[in-house]
């Protein structure tokens, strides 16, 4: 029975891969509507022929990798359960130590290793493609260093979370999901507070903006928006990528506005000021706190659904999945499988909320700067630097885009100009 289910799952995955390929290469429409041809939103007006071709190729391959890598994770976790690998890891952990904490650490270590091996081809292909298309400038050794940092950081966090999670399941099999959620609230805020000062510096160097004249302009804008900012930070990214970015991170006194040095190198001051106004809008409109609240509400519902599905699955198919009880740590791949599916299913909703907030931030920024041409130039350069699609296929936008498409963003700026006139 296990073999039959495993073979069926593999064939379903292969069929899904073919369907995704057909959609992205033959079915999904990424062309520019006739009404926007020749406008600032038409990539043919600001990209040359080679850039247009590379943008189309790179976007399709990247989208294909995204849509096939996530179901591959589901397939891998399912095969782990059906093949008894999770149960084997649990036995190894039990045989290695009598301490429950050490058993959890050993189990999580083996799970992390096998997961890294399974996911590595997708990660390497993504790295290789970004190098081939001149998006990444990172050396292989530097990339591997980041992968190793990722592994140990994820191992530490996973060990901590799994230890607490299964302790709660042992204490209360009916309400563990509620207690886990209650503990996740302060933990989420703590991690957001920690992110800019502990985690981010593990990967890159951060320092106050070197261009003090530009920093003065940005801080003047922040003062007008009643934002208590003393510094703008830049991060050394040129040795890793040609892409451009700026973002807000952290909460409370650890909040930071961060600019990649690639952004500073490739954009004019007026274009950078538009980006900064956009980031300030997230602070002014409390998007960070709204995002945290939304995440916590979704995680509450998600944990409840995971608990119900896990109980039902173990009762009905525990023998097939080789999981005798939810309390056993060998049920962790089942937890991760259900959580990953729910996260993917909720992506259209969370992305839609994020796109709305980003559109609001664009609107705030253009009203603050009153410089639509710099804003349009910014979006065009972002498209060129990242070889992004201006108008991606509908399903790609639904599941991947946390920002409005460049077609929507640039056309909104042109609409603002028309209304202003």
Residues 57-88: tens digit of each pLDDT: 999 999 999 999 999 999 999 999 999 999 99
Distance CA 305, CA 406 (A): 36
The DSSP code for 40 is: T
Q: Looking at the predicted structure, is the pLDDT value of residue 231 above 90? A: no
Among 357, 194, 356, smallest CA distance to 288 is for 357
Strand partners, 234: 207, 259
Q: How would you list the strands of the sheet with 256-260, edge to edge?
A: 206-208, 233-235, 256-260, 246-249
Which residue out of 73, 90, 261, 362 is catalytically annotated?
362
Q: How far apart are CA 248 and CA 21, in angstroms?
A: 35
User: Is the per-residue pLDDT at 127 higher than 70?
Assistant: yes
* Cα 172 from Cα 178, distance rounded (Å): 10
pLDDT tens per residue across span 292-317: 889 899 999 999 999 999 999 999 99
Q: 0.85 cut: is pTM over it?
A: yes
Q: Helix %, strand %, coil % for the chain, to 5?
A: 75, 5, 20
Contact 347, 295 (CB under 8 A): no
- The per-residue pLDDT for 254 is 65
Query: Does 90 carry a binding-site annotation?
Result: no
Over residues 138-187, the pLDDT tens digits come to 999 999 999 999 999 999 999 999 999 999 999 998 999 999 999 998 98
Under the banding of pLDDT at 50, 70 and 90, the label for residue 253 is low
Cα distances from 221 to residues 211, 276, 356, 405, in angstroms, run 16, 9, 23, 26
**Residue 271 assigned to a binding site:** no
Within a 10 A sphere around the Cβ of 335, how many other Cβ atoms?
21
3-class secondary structure, 33: coil
| Token pair 């004019």: residue | 268
Would you say 238 and 266 are in contact if contact means Cβ atoms under 8 Å apart?
Answer: no
Q: How far is CA 233 from CA 180, 185, 206, 227, in A?
A: 35, 28, 7, 15
| Mean pLDDT value of segment 22-30 | 87
Q: Which of 200, 271, 279, 371 is catalytic?
A: 279
Annotated catalytic residue 362: yes
Percent of the chain with pLDDT over 90: 62
pLDDT at 54 over 70: yes
Q: Which parts of 187-243 are beta strand (E)?
A: 206-208, 233-235
Per DSSP, helices labelled H in 322-331 are: none
Q: Is the pLDDT of residue 126 over 90?
A: yes
Q: Is 271 a catalytic residue?
A: no
Q: Which of 295, 306, 261, 307 is nearest to 189 (CA)?
A: 295
Which of 65-69, 227-231, 236-240, 303-307 is predicted least confidently?
A: 227-231
Q: What's the pLDDT score for residue 102? A: 94
Chain segment 350-408, per-residue pLDDT in tens: 999 999 999 999 999 999 888 888 999 999 999 999 899 999 999 999 999 999 999 99
Residue 248, classed as helix, strand or coil, is strand
| Cβ atoms of 227 and 280 closer than 8 Å | yes
- Residue 231 is labelled as binding a ligand: no
Calculate what percentage of the chain has a pLDDT beyond 70.
98
H or E element, residue 258: strand 256-260
The alpha carbon of residue 35 and the mean position of all alpha carbons in its chain are separated, in whole angstroms, by 32
- pLDDT number for residue 125: 96
């Amino acid at each position: 029975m296990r073999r039959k289910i495993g073979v069926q799952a593999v064939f379903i995955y292969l069929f899904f891969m073919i369907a995704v390929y057909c959609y992205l290469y033959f079915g999904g429409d990424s062309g520019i509507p006739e009404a926007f041809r020749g406008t600032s939103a038409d990539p043919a007006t600001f990209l040359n022929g080679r850039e247009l071709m590379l943008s189309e190729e790179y976007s399709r391959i990247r989208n294909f990798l995204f849509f096939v890598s996530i179901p591959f994770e589901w397939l891998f976790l399912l095969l782990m359960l059906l093949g008894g690998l999770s149960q084997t890891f649990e036995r190894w952990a039990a045989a290695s130590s009598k301490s429950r904490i050490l058993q959890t650490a050993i189990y999580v270590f083996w799970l992390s290793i096998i997961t890294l091996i399974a996911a590595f081809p997708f990660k390497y292909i993504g790295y290789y493609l970004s190098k081939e298309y001149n998006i990444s400038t990172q050396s292989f050794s530097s990339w591997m260093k980041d992968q190793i940092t990722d592994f140990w950081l994820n191992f530490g966090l996973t060990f901590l979370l799994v230890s607490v999670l299964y302790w709660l399941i042992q204490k209360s099999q009916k309400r563990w999901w509620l207690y886990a959620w209650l503990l996740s609230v302060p933990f989420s805020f703590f991690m957001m507070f920690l992110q800019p000062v502990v985690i981010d510096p593990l990967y890159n160097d951060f320092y106050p903006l070197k261009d003090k004249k530009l920093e003065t302009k940005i801080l003047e804008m922040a003062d007008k928006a009643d934002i208590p900012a003393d510094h703008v930070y830049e991060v050394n990214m040129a040795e890793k990528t040609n892409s451009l970015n700026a973002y807000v991170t952290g909460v409370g006194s650890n909040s930071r506005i961060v600019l990649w040095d690639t952004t500073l190198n490739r954009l004019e001051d007026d274009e950078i000021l538009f980006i900064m106004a956009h980031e300030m809008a997230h602070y002014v409109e409390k998007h960070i706190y709204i995002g945290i609240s939304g995440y916590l509400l979704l995680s509450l519902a998600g944990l409840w659904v995971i608990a119900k599905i896990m109980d039902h699955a173990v009762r009905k198919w525990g023998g097939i999945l080789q999981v005798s009880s939810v309390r056993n740590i060998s049920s962790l791949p089942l937890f991760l499988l259900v959580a990953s599916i729910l996260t993917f299913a909720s992506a259209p909703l969370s992305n839609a909320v994020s796109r709305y907030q980003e559109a609001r931030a664009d609107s705030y920024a253009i009203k603050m700067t009153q410089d639509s041409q710099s804003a349009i130039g910014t979006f065009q350069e972002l498209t060129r630097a990242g070889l992004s699609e201006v108008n991606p296929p509908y399903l790609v936008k639904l599941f991947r885009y946390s920002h409005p498409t460049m077609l929507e963003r640039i056309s909104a700026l042109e609409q603002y100009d028309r209304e202003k006139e």
